[in-house]
């Protein structure tokens, strides 16, 4: 008997390989957005630095969010089609079933982020990050991936159908637009500005920006880590209780 | 109403023993004191309409859901305190084919082998055997998303059989299947029982329960309203009959006199005559009408279904029960 986690993870990988359109969406859409914002609209934004340098950290975050709806849908279809029940009756541990989805989600994120950074370089991205800074970027991104992944797994488990699961992830996709991802928060209208300043994605983006381009990051790094850990915890606990309740 | 008392001291002969099972979701009582006993090696069928509580019963019996009250023992183990032991003994095929569409048929079975305690070598043999037995060899390497509904159900059941479970729960195994796939499923179920497996089956179809089950329990709004062998149950409901509709009351009167044992409905101008629905008994009815130069506007053959069972046992039809 192989380890249940390995078996589950391999299943998730097979899904990704067999259904490449979802991954393609998760990779292509953010890249397209990056190209649109930087190449098409970029000259119109005045953010004080080269726009590609400003936007890339924001689009890294967007790339994480775009991958989520696929995760929510795949978790939900496991639930609604009775596959999770089948595994439950076989005594497959909960951790193995759900962690497989989270890890697959994080890896999709990393793929999309890799593509974003590659295209950003092609568009003239010139980060000042040292090797250690890059490690920090990877650390934050993976942490965010896990946090968003757990929250999405919970959303997927709680949704009634795969369609609603896909919709449930939409706010997560829109949230980056109301942060400092595309333009600085202080350029936004009143109300939206305050929201953008205090929502979790802004400190995460500012941390990435600080690491990549040397922009002043202030206390953002701590706030970013705290938000990620908080979201991960809420997502994990929510996923666990929904998983136990629903049959 | 038949309340069955499980026989104390003979637990080994009971594959499933349930007493006083209760379950509510919020204010809605779904199961309201269920008692049943399934002897090892038999087919037990839980018959009821949508919303009667069939799936909830299966979920509780298979450790997926906790009951609010009562005791459930499956394979001699308590479903709450000995869930692991219960899971090791059972196999479950849910209402929807729980197959992985992005894997091939073979990979689905391999997944079950990998997750069960079956050794790899034996697992390979099991997979080959199951593919042959369920006539899935040709499609084994194809993605399940290309399978028909019948093939998915077969694969679903094959997956359930991987660990060689001794008690199998089938929740509406033939819902949505065409008649041919349905018959195939029935013969597979019969083969399983021939091997000594115990089957707990839920269905909405009277004929399915009649065809397969040793005992049937009728579930209505969370209560068992009847329990017994198919024959015992059928004795309580009107049998197959033909229904003749006439144009005038005079014709109905005449027909009622020559076809004895019929039930008449003066408003609808119909006469219901007991019949097995076969050509021979139909011809007898027609000949008799001809003899007296009577003609009916319409003739329909009616075989009892779940609605008849409900009307006879509860006084209301399945629509009410679903509420």
What is residue A45's predicted lDDT score, i.e. its pLDDT?
75
What is residue B4's predicted lDDT score, i.e. its pLDDT?
44
CA distances (Å), origin A107, targets A94, A141, A183:
20, 11, 28
Q: Inter-chain contact A89–B116, Cβ cutoff 8 Å?
A: no
Q: Flag whether the pTM goes above 0.95.
A: no
CA distances (Å), origin B202, targets B49, B168, B171:
10, 11, 5
User: For residue B25, what are the contacts with CB-CB under 8 A and spacing of at least 6?
Assistant: none
- Chain B residue with CA closest to A7: the answer is B114
Question: Quick one: average pLDDT of B102-109?
Answer: 95
To the nearest whole Å, the CA of B33 is away from the closest chain A CA by 21
Question: pLDDT confidence of B5, banded at 50, 70, 90?
Answer: very low
Q: Inter-chain contact A91–B102, Cβ cutoff 8 Å?
A: no
Q: Inter-chain contact A82–B143, Cβ cutoff 8 Å?
A: no
Question: Quick one: average pLDDT of A203-212?
Answer: 89
To the nearest whole Å, the CA of B96 is away from the closest chain A CA by 6
To the nearest whole Å, the CA of A2 is away from the closest chain B CA by 6
Q: Which of A18, A82, A91 sits opposite B98 (nearest CB)?
A: A82
Please give the order of strands across the beta sheet that includes B263-265: B263-265, B270-274, B241-245, B298-302
Taking only the tens place, the pLDDT of each residue in B60-85 is 999 999 999 999 999 999 999 999 99
> Which residues, in sequence order, are bridge partners of residue B71?
B19
Cα(B111)–Cα(A1) distance, rounded to whole angstroms?
Answer: 11
Taking only the tens place, the pLDDT of each residue in B150-168 is 899 999 999 999 988 999 9
Lowest mean pLDDT among A139-143, A225-229, B13-17, B317-321: B317-321
What is residue B323's predicted lDDT score, i.e. its pLDDT?
42
To the nearest whole Å, the CA of A150 is away from the closest chain B CA by 22
Say if residues B166 and B89 touch (Cβ distance below 8 Å): yes
Residues of A in contact with B115 (CB under 8 A): 4, 7, 87, 90, 92
Residue B1 has pLDDT above 50, yes or no: no
Question: What sign does the CA torsion over B134, B140, B143, B146 have?
Answer: negative
What is residue B319's predicted lDDT score, i.e. its pLDDT?
60
Tell me the average pLDDT of chain A.
87
Q: Inter-chain contact A86–B159, Cβ cutoff 8 Å?
A: yes
Cα(B219)–Cα(B49) distance, rounded to whole angstroms?
Answer: 8
Residue B7 has pLDDT above 60, yes or no: no
Tell me the average pLDDT of chain B.
87
To the nearest whole Å, the CA of B116 is away from the closest chain A CA by 7
Lowest mean pLDDT among B12-16, B98-102, B268-272: B12-16
Taking only the tens place, the pLDDT of each residue in B282-314 is 888 899 899 988 888 898 888 777 777 777 777
Say if residues B294 and B254 touch (Cβ distance below 8 Å): yes
What is residue A236's predicted lDDT score, i.e. its pLDDT?
95
Strands B215-220 and B223-228: antiparallel
Q: DSSP for B79-136?
A: TTTTHHHHHHHEEEE-SS----TTSBHHHHHHHHHHHSS--HHHHHHHHHHHHHHTT-
Question: pLDDT confidence of B19, banded at 50, 70, 90?
Answer: very high
Q: Does B63 touch chain A (CB under 8 A)?
A: yes
Q: Which of B111, B118, B126, B146 to mutate to test the interface with A (most CBs of A within 10 A)?
A: B111
Q: Which of B88, B95, B115 sits opposite A7 (nearest CB)?
A: B115
Quote ipTM for the complex.
Answer: 0.82
Q: What proportion of chain B, given as a percentage, has pLDDT over 70?
A: 93
Cα(A172)–Cα(A9) distance, rounded to whole angstroms?
Answer: 24
């Amino acid at each position: 008997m192989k380890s249940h986690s390995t078996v589950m993870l391999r299943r998730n990988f097979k899904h990704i390989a067999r259904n490449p359109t979802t991954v393609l969406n998760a990779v292509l859409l953010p890249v397209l957005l990056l190209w649109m914002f930087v190449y098409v609209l970029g000259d119109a934004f005045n953010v004080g630095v080269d726009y590609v340098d400003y936007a890339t950290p924001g689009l890294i975050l967007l790339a994480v969010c775009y991958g989520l709806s696929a995760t929510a849908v795949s978790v939900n279809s496991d639930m609604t089609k009775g596959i999770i029940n089948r595994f439950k009756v076989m005594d497959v541990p909960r951790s193995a079933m759900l962690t497989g989805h989270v890890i697959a989600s994080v890896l999709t994120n990393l793929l999309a982020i890799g593509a974003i950074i590659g295209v950003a370089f092609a568009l003239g991205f010139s980060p000042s990050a040292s090797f250690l800074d890059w490690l920090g970027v990877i650390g934050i991104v993976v942490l965010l991936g896990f946090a968003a992944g757990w929250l999405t797994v919970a959303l997927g488990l709680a949704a009634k159908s795969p369609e609603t699961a896909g919709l449930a992830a939409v706010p997560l996709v829109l949230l980056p637009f109301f942060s400092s991802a595309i333009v600085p928060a202080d350029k936004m209208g009143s109300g939206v500005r305050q929201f953008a300043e205090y929502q979790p994605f802004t400190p995460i983006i500012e941390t990435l920006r600080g690491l990549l381009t040397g922009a002043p990051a202030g206390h953002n790094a701590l706030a970013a880590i705290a938000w990620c850990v908080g979201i991960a915890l809420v997502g994990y606990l929510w996923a666990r209780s929904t998983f136990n309740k629903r049959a | 109403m038949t309340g069955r008392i499980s026989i104390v001291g003979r637990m080994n002969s009971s594959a499933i023993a349930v007493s006083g099972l209760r379950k509510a979701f919020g204010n809605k009582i779904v199961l309201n004191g269920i008692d049943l006993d399934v002897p090892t090696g038999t087919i037990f069928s839980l018959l009821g309409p949508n919303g009667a509580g069939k799936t909830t019963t299966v979920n509780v019996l298979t450790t997926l859901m906790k009951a609010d009250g009562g005791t459930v023992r499956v394979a001699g183990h308590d479903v709450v305190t000995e869930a692991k032991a219960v899971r090791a003994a059972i196999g479950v095929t849910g209402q929807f084919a729980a197959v992985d569409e992005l894997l091939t048929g073979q990979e689905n079975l391999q997944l079950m082998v990998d997750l069960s305690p079956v050794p790899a070598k034996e697992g390979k043999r099991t997979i080959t055997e199951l593919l042959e037995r369920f006539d899935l060899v040709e499609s084994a390497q194809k993605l399940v998303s290309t399978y028909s509904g019948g093939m998915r159900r077969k694969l679903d059941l094959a997956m359930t059989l991987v660990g060689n479970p001794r008690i199998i729960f089938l929740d509406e195994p033939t819902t949505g299947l065409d008649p041919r796939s349905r018959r195939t499923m029935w013969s597979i179920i019969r083969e399983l029982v021939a091997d000594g497996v115990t089957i707990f089956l839920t269905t909405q179809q009277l004929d399915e329960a009649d065809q397969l089950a040793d005992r049937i329990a009728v579930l209505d709004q969370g209560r068992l309203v009847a329990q017994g062998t198919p024959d015992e149950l059928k004795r309580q409901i009107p049998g197959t009959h033909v229904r003749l509709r006439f144009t005038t009351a005079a014709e109905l009167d005449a027909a009622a006199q020559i076809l004895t044992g019929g039930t008449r409905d003066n408003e609808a101008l119909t006469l219901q005559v007991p019949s097995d629905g076969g050509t021979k008994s139909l011809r007898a009815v027609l000949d008799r009408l001809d003899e007296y130069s009577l003609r009916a506007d319409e003739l329909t053959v009616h075989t009892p279904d779940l609605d008849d069972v409900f009307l006879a046992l509860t006084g209301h039809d399945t629509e009410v029960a679903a509420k």
